[in-house]
Amino acid sequence: MSNSLSTPVLLRRIAQLEAAVGRLGEDLGSLRLAVSKQGLQLPMARIVRARASQAKQPPKDTQQDQVAAGLAGAALRGEAARVQWVKDGLVVPGEQLAKAWGLTRQALAPAADRGEIFAVKVGNRLYYPQAFLGMERETVAVICRALGGLGASEKLMFWLRDHGALSGKSVATALEAGLALSHVERLAAAWARERGATRVAEAA
């Protein structure tokens, strides 16, 4: 493939990645607010400093260098967001979830393969939503299956953000308050359709 053809495609991909990172940043902000409401102390976010550091780097000489730098920057910001999820306690190691459910850590992988749970990868480790800890496995499975083939980050946003359709509550809080599981399942399916449509539009 020639440079004249490959460069526009790569630039469009960078724009898509930047948009995805922007959505993650917005969702992380709402999640941090939700956690703060529960009285937890949160560390300072380092994403802003990472962006500021990148902004100080000298411009690249060629268009291909700019493409490579853009892809690397998007990946760096995505990883920084995931590290912050761990520090904020929004996700927990597999050992902690397995202990809460009376399982071995190895038993989580088959459940993930079946779509009953999901994990986000941070560094070389897998982490699971903290909200899973106080919930029944089958309840988690019903909702995760409804989220379908969304990416792990998008599924995490559904689980931890406050939803207007749930009276401004997170999934776990709404269920704990007595909301019917079927209502949350329908909301999860609608969320999956909406996010799926957004990804298709961005790829067009």
| Each residue's pLDDT tens digit, 55-106 | 555 444 455 555 444 544 444 566 788 888 899 999 999 999 999 999 999 9
- Angle at CA of residue 12, ends 11 and 13, nearest 5°: 90
Neighbours of 7 (CB within 10 A): 16
User: DSSP state, 124?
Assistant: T
139 Cβ contact list (under 8 Å, min separation 6): 175, 181
| Each residue's pLDDT tens digit, 108-167 | 999 999 999 999 999 889 999 999 999 999 999 999 999 999 999 899 999 989 999 999
Helices (H), 38-107: 47-55, 63-87, 94-101
167 φψ region: left (φ > 0), alpha (ψ -120 to 50), beta (else): left
Cα–Cα dist 166/174, whole Å: 6
User: Residue 53: which pLDDT band, with cuts at 50, 70 and 90?
Assistant: low
155 Cβ contact list (under 8 Å, min separation 6): 118, 144, 147
| Each residue's pLDDT tens digit, 103-116 | 999 999 999 999 99
| pTM, 2 dp | 0.62
Instruction: Give the whole-number percent of the chain exceeding pLDDT 70.
Output: 58
